Amino acid sequence: RKEVEQDPGPFNVPEGATVAFNCTYSNSASQSFFWYRQDCRKEPKLLMSVYSSGNEDGRFTAQLNRASQYISLLIRDSKLSDSATYLCVVNPGETTDSWGKLQFGAGTQVVVTP
């Protein structure tokens, strides 16, 4: 089983619609969670951190469910510019063996269409 799993998509979304997708993680002791956005042939860029209580940044909402070990990302009022691959990233903790070793999902592709 992969440490971080995501539906690869693509999620085809009409402009203005809402899209949501999840990511599951295997290590129940994981410390922190992030969503990164990666455009084709570009570097990953931090979209938002995910907090236990859930958090919102403009049109983006992230949720964490520790009991079921998943995080989610919801995008409201989708824009054409939201088309990208969204990487789920998990920090497993700060033990000697795991320090600095972010666990990346392979990404969920979102395609927003006019």
Partner 1 sequence: DAMVIQNPRYQVTQFGKPVTLSCSQTLNHNVMYWYQQKSSQAPKLLFHYYDKDFNNEADTPDNFQSRRPNTSFCFLDIRSPGLGDAAMYLCATSRGAAEQFFGPGTRLTVL
Instruction: Please check whether residue 13 is in contact with residue 108, taking contact to mean a CB–CB distance below 8 angstroms.
Output: no
The window from 11-19, 31-39, 51-59, 62-70 that contacts partner 1 (CB under 8 A) reads: 31-39
DSSP-derived letter for residue 98 is T
Which residue among 44, 64, 75, 82 contacts partner 1 (CB under 8 A)?
44
Can residue 1 be called a binding residue for partner 1 (CB under 8 A)?
Answer: no
Instruction: Determine the residue type at 1.
Output: R
Q: Residue 30 CB: number of other CB atoms within 10 A?
A: 20
Q: Given the complex with partner 1, which of 53 and 114 has the nearer CB atom?
A: 53
Smaller CB separation from partner 1, 70 or 93: 93
Residue 46: phi and psi, rounded to 5, are: -65, 120
Torsion sign (Cα): 18, 103, 42, 45: positive
Q: Check residue 102 for interaction with partner 1 (CB under 8 A).
A: yes
46 binds partner 1 (CB under 8 A): yes
* Residues at the contact surface with partner 1, assessed by CB under 8 A: 4, 31-32, 34, 41-46, 49, 87, 91, 94, 99-102, 104-107
